Chains A and B, each alone.
Chain A
Amino acid sequence: MLVTCISFFAYEFYVFRKTTTEKLSTIGKIISTNSTAALAFDDSENAKEILAALKAEPHIVAAALYNKDGELFSKYSADRRDTNFFPKKPQQDGYRYIRSHIDGFEPILQDERRLGTLYLRSDLGGMYDRFRVFGVVAILVIFLSFILAYLLSMILQKSISKPILTLSETAKVISNQKDYSVRAVKSGNDEVGGLTNAFNNMLEEIEKQNKTLSEFNKNLEQKVSDRTEQLETVNKELESFSYSISHDLRAPLRGVVGFAAILEEDYGNKLDDEGKRIISVIKNNTLKMGRLIDDLLTFSRMSRQDIMRTNIATNKMVRDVIEDLVPGDKKPAIHWDIQNLPDLKGDINAIRQVWVNLISNAVKYSATKKQPQIEIGSFKSNGQTVLYIKDNGVGFDEKYKNKLFQVFQRLHSEQDFEGTGIGLAIIKKIISKHGGHVWAEGEKDKGACFSFSLSDNENI
């Protein structure tokens, strides 16, 4: 608006100057035509009269006539007190703007003969008057526009901003309270109303999905809790089952072994060698059954029990296990090479069971060698600590490697080596519960090497 006003002013200024000049020039021409006679006859009275007629034009502040020699002949001043500004000599013809005036020199001609020059001075009061009017109008227009704009914005606020603000307020409430049942209030059928509708539809969709989701969750929770309950029941049953097995199966076995032993003790002298052999077969089988029960129970206990990680001083643990497993008289026969072993983080009972099984296996399967050798050591591989036990015993056929860690799988006959076939399965169970790996390398009659690593992640 300001730009419009300024450009309008500029245009007006230009036009006004042009019309003022034209108007002054017209007046000049009329006066100069009228004053030819006065100049020709050197009639100064007549000249004065002619110039005095300029009183009708309030903006012409001064006028003068010069004769053909350029001398001041007659003068007129709207304000008689100030007469000093008349130029002594006429200047070049034409109209010029000088500060706040227009000065004009008009030739006075008669039949192409120059009789003199007319001087006219006009002030720019007219222009200023107009500009004043323009200014007032412009201010008025600006003021009115402001009022209009304000009123318009009030109306628009009601119809646009307010609904949008309400909408955003609703959105805030929903995001704060997570209550998707809240709906925005629709204010009209315009675009904002459409937006509100879309918003409400979206909310409805969210609410619907939330409902489905929470129902799904509820079902899931129910399912999980049902399953947990079932699992707990099964676990409890399993526990009491192993309890019964360990208690009720062992008691009759003790009877069989015990009474066979009594038979041997009390009636041994009445039996021949075959009779004694049969008694020892009965005893051995019963004892084996007892070991089987013990191993199976260990296996099932390891499956059920949670791992409780603590720091394990491996060096001490290995030494203690060897001390427990290998009777003093057998120890010198085996060449032990036990390196310094790193501490482990694991379940102390479970890891001890691993060492018990590994070491007793190494002792058992190298016992037939003239010079049994058992090496226990460790190394780092891919940032993980690997522990291994290596013997020079009977080893195993690599072909059947995958059967090694399965329950009841044996690679040697019962006659050659006693065993239940559960020991390595227990090891595997324990190591995988620790998030680790166990593997074996071996060659027939050249020994075996069993290695394991535990995951460093304590959360497993």
Chain B
Amino acid sequence: MNYDSVEILLVEDNINDAELTIRELKKHHMANNLFHVKDGEEALEFIFATGRYANSRNVMSSPKVVLLDIQMPKVNGIEVLEKVKADERTRATPIVILTSSKEDPDIKTCYALGANSYIVKPVNFEGFAESIRNLGFYWLLINQPPK
């Protein structure tokens, strides 16, 4: 896979959630250039082209959107968000927070750190599928990324 052509970077430790997300996007032909990493550490390596992804991708070729879960082992979503938004090279990358709970006290923190969107994944499948579908349409087709 050519990492520089990745349009959606899915950062999700829960493989079931990841599968449901990918399935919904696939259904609407939006998962062709999707790449899934399973924790924050790998996400940072991917975005900043370090570690496992050193020399295999260019930092400047930003994905169209990063779907970021908050609760993850090792490096959590908030830390990833903070690092991406703090770096000149990656600041423009749109980040959509995907989390399980509207109780999240992190909503404010995430927006303050520059999250572009904050989406609560509903339990019911129809709602969940709709959210994923909509955000895929929006960030891949409607939104105009910086050139």
Q: Are A258 and B20 in contact, CB atoms less than 8 angstroms apart?
A: yes
Select the residue from A246, A253, A286 with max chain B CB neighbours within 10 A: A246
**Partner among A248, A261, A301 whose Cβ is within 8 Å of the Cβ of B125:** A261
Binding-face segment, B32-40, B82-90, B96-104, B135-143: B96-104
- Measured between beta carbons, the chain A residues less than 8 angstroms from B123 are 250, 253-254, 257, 286-287, 289-290
Interface flags for B97-116 (1: CB within 8 Å of A; 0: not) read 00111111100000000000
Nearest chain B CB to A300 CB, angstrom units: 9
B124 lies within 8 A of chain A by Cβ:
yes
**Partner among A259, A287, A297 whose Cβ is within 8 Å of the Cβ of B16:** A259
Q: By DSSP majority rule, is chain A's interface helix, strand, loop, or mixed?
A: helix
- Take A242-B103, A243-B101 as given contacts and tell me if A251 and B125 are in contact as well, using a CB distance cutoff of 8 Å: no
Q: Are A243 and B128 in contact, CB atoms less than 8 angstroms apart?
A: no
CB under 8 Å from chain B, chain A span 381-421 = none
In the complex the two chains form, what is the Cα distance from A297 to B103 in whole Å?
Answer: 8
In the complex the two chains form, what is the Cα distance from A105 to B110 in whole Å?
Answer: 138
Q: Are A243 and B103 in contact, CB atoms less than 8 angstroms apart?
A: yes
- Measured between beta carbons, the chain B residues less than 8 angstroms from A58 are none
CB under 8 Å from chain B, chain A span 349-377 = none
- Number of chain B residues whose Cβ lies closer than 8 Å to a Cβ of chain A: 21
Q: Are A246 and B125 in contact, CB atoms less than 8 angstroms apart?
A: no
Q: Are A247 and B99 in contact, CB atoms less than 8 angstroms apart?
A: yes
- Measured between beta carbons, the chain B residues less than 8 angstroms from A255 are 14, 16-17, 20
- Measured between beta carbons, the chain A residues less than 8 angstroms from B128 are 254, 258
- Measured between beta carbons, the chain A residues less than 8 angstroms from B125 are 254, 257-258, 260-261, 283
Q: Are A247 and B14 in contact, CB atoms less than 8 angstroms apart?
A: no
Interface flags for A274-305 (1: CB within 8 Å of B; 0: not) read 00000000010011011000000100010000
B133 lies within 8 A of chain A by Cβ:
no
- Take A257-B123, A258-B125, A258-B128 as given contacts and tell me if A246 and B16 are in contact as well, using a CB distance cutoff of 8 Å: no
- Measured between beta carbons, the chain B residues less than 8 angstroms from A248 are 71, 100
Nearest chain A CB to B133 CB, angstrom units: 14
- Number of chain A residues whose Cβ lies closer than 8 Å to a Cβ of chain B: 25
In the complex the two chains form, what is the Cα distance from A283 to B125 in whole Å?
Answer: 9
Nearest chain A CB to B22 CB, angstrom units: 12
Chain B residue with minimal CB distance to A298?
B103
Q: Are A243 and B105 in contact, CB atoms less than 8 angstroms apart?
A: yes
Q: Are B23 and A301 in contact, CB atoms less than 8 angstroms apart?
A: no
In the complex the two chains form, what is the Cα distance from A258 to B101 in whole Å?
Answer: 17
A239 lies within 8 A of chain B by Cβ:
yes
Chain A residue with minimal CB distance to B125?
A261
- Take A257-B125, A259-B16 as given contacts and tell me if A247 and B104 are in contact as well, using a CB distance cutoff of 8 Å: yes
- Measured between beta carbons, the chain B residues less than 8 angstroms from A251 are 14, 16-17, 100
Q: Are B124 and A247 in contact, CB atoms less than 8 angstroms apart?
A: no
- Measured between beta carbons, the chain B residues less than 8 angstroms from A250 are 100-101, 121, 123
In the complex the two chains form, what is the Cα distance from A277 to B103 in whole Å?
Answer: 33
- Measured between beta carbons, the chain A residues less than 8 angstroms from B23 are 262
Nearest chain A CB to B145 CB, angstrom units: 29
Q: Are A290 and B124 in contact, CB atoms less than 8 angstroms apart?
A: yes
Closest 9 CB pairs of A and B: A290-B123, A246-B101, A261-B125, A255-B16, A246-B103, A258-B20, A247-B101, A247-B100, A250-B100
The interface of chain B, by Cβ under 8 A from chain A, is: 14, 16-17, 20, 23, 71, 99-105, 121-126, 128-129
Known: A254-B122, A259-B16, A283-B125. 10 other contacts (CB 8 A): A243-B101, A243-B104, A246-B102, A246-B103, A247-B100, A247-B101, A250-B121, A251-B100, A255-B14, A258-B125
